[in-house]
Amino acid sequence: MLNALVVDSSNYYCGQLTDLLVAAGFEVESARTGAEGLEKAQQNRYRLVCCSDNLKDFASSEFCSQLRSLNGYEFVTLLVLTEHDNAKSLKQALLAGATDIFSKHDITEMETYLTRISQRESRQLSGRVLFIEDSRVLQTIIIDLLTDMGLDVDAYNYAESAWDAFQSGDYDLVITDIMLEGVMSGITLVRKIRRMQSEYGNVPIIATSGFDNLSRKIELFHLGVNDYVSKPIVREELRQRVFNHVTSYQTLRELKTQQKSLYSLAMLDEVTGLFNRHALREFAGKYFSEAYRFGRTLSVAVMDIDHLKKINEDFGFERGDELLAEFGAWLKRHVRDVDMIARWAGDEIIFILPGCDLVAANGLLERMQTRLRKIRPAGLPISVSVGVAELRKTEKDTLNSLFELADKAMYQAKMAGRDCVVMYREKEPLTE
Ligand SMILES: Nc1nc2c(ncn2[C@@H]2O[C@H](COP(=O)(O)OP(=O)(O)OP(=O)(O)O)[C@@H](O)[C@H]2O)c(=O)[nH]1
């Protein structure tokens, strides 16, 4: 539980402030004089102290400087509450160590501030930290701090073993000493992490060092370190820096995940996992313009599953869906990276095959068909009819025009008894 001390000579304001603090989630004690306040602060360790500028025995600046000199009070939040704005005494209070100053007449501002502090102080993180430090004593202190914040810590003395762990782990933060025992330095570790191609390579890194050397710091930032903490490490400073880095990184990762799922929703077909019609229209233009620009050929194929209606009737629509899902995954594995494959509608699938003339496209689809005869997606036999058309030299073809030709050829394949590939040829009659 967060605790706070209110030091105010006025019963009225003391009561009002206590109510505010309790509402923000604090456990509150109070003192009527500065001396009583300092005594209580020595006996207890408060996370927040509010002192009024109307104390009978202390000027607020004096109270602030005496509180700050107590053991454990260097970094606690210390607020001064004023009844009358007196710029000079307020400035003195800030100089003496007050964190912030509030008017007793602006309760709303104070309320918002306390709620924010309470949320910040009581928020537990979750995540994993890779921590490299060769001083045992410092290691223990920092592990305690990080664990207290809710983080899981993997601690190492040597960069070599930390690097091994890093490659197989999923970390939210790396804290590394720069000068380490062992062959690999902290700098090499940072360099290796930043060279990684995967998402792991973007993990935030805090470097620590006993040498407060400006040019080294700049060099570290060049290497991709996000932050630098000098030794001796101040717990409160490190706590806040860790908090900021871990939360920003996690927010960024969440955003990326959301972006990916939005992309999936917009571009991928739910059932087959293939691109949808929208994506096909979005990307097709690029395939065609590149083919024209570089004088390359390109083919479009229309594939239609045979008798899906009957499969649905015999085995149920859900089983038909399973078949489509497994078939979609299988297709993705059997096309080249450069090909585009999308579900047009129902049981119709479109391929854009850059660099493939009619014969090559026909060969590719026939090989696929031969393999398909050996698999049973969702435990069901499957066959497909396919029509293929290639860019014509005499026409300025588009996705629509080639789709129309390939669809005609696919229809011919159905007419020819299904389970075959038909090439569309302009001047000749269609042949199998
Ligand atoms: N399970 C399932 N079936 C679908 C889906 N989309 C379309 N279908 C079914 O696919 C069938 C397509 O039927 P048709 O175009 O008449 O052709 P077919 O039964 O496959 O027979 P042919 O194409 O002539 O070989 C229809 O019965 C649709 O209900 C889907 O997302 N899931």
pLDDT (tens digit per residue) in 363-383: 999 999 999 988 999 999 999
Report the topology of domain 2-122: Rossmann fold (3.40.50)
Of 318, 319, 432, the closest CA to residue 386 belongs to 432
Specify the amino acid at residue 410.
M
Q: How far is the CA of 345 from the centre of ligand 1 (A)?
A: 9
Asked whether the predicted pLDDT for residue 429 surpasses 60, the reply is no
Report the topology of domain 277-423: Alpha-Beta Plaits (3.30.70)
CA–CA dist 250, 128 (Å, integer): 11
Residues having CB within 6 Å of any atom of ligand 1: 271, 304-310, 312, 317, 320-321, 324, 346-347, 414, 418
The token duo for 370 is 């031969």
Instruction: State the helix-helix crossing angle for 60-68 and 87-95, rounded to 10 degrees.
Output: 10
Of 417, 419, 420, 333, the closest CA to residue 381 belongs to 419
CA–CA dist 229, 213 (Å, integer): 12
Protein residue with its CA nearest to atom 25 in ligand 1? 306
Predicted confidence (pLDDT) per residue in 303-312, tens digit: 999 999 999 9
Please report the atom of ligand 1 found closest to the CA of residue 320.
1
What's the CA angle centered on 290, arms 285 and 292, to 5 degrees? 100
Protein residue with its CA nearest to atom 8 in ligand 1? 346
The pLDDT confidence band at residue 27, using thresholds 50, 70 and 90, is very high
Protein residue with its CA nearest to atom 26 in ligand 1? 309
Residue 428's pLDDT is 55
Residue 5's pLDDT is 96
**Fold match between domain 2-122 and domain 127-258:** yes
Please report the atom of ligand 1 found closest to the CA of residue 418.
25
Asked whether the predicted pLDDT for residue 220 surpasses 80, the reply is yes
What is the CATH code of the structural domain delimited by 127-258?
3.40.50.2300
Q: Where are the domains of the chain?
A: 2-122, 127-258, 277-423
250 burial type by CB count under 10 A (0-12 exposed, 13-18 middle, 19+ buried): middle
In the chain, the percentage of residues whose pLDDT exceeds 90 is: 68
Residue 348's pLDDT is 95
Protein residue with its CA nearest to atom 29 in ligand 1? 309
419 burial type by CB count under 10 A (0-12 exposed, 13-18 middle, 19+ buried): middle
Q: How far is the CA of 311 from the centre of ligand 1 (A)?
A: 8
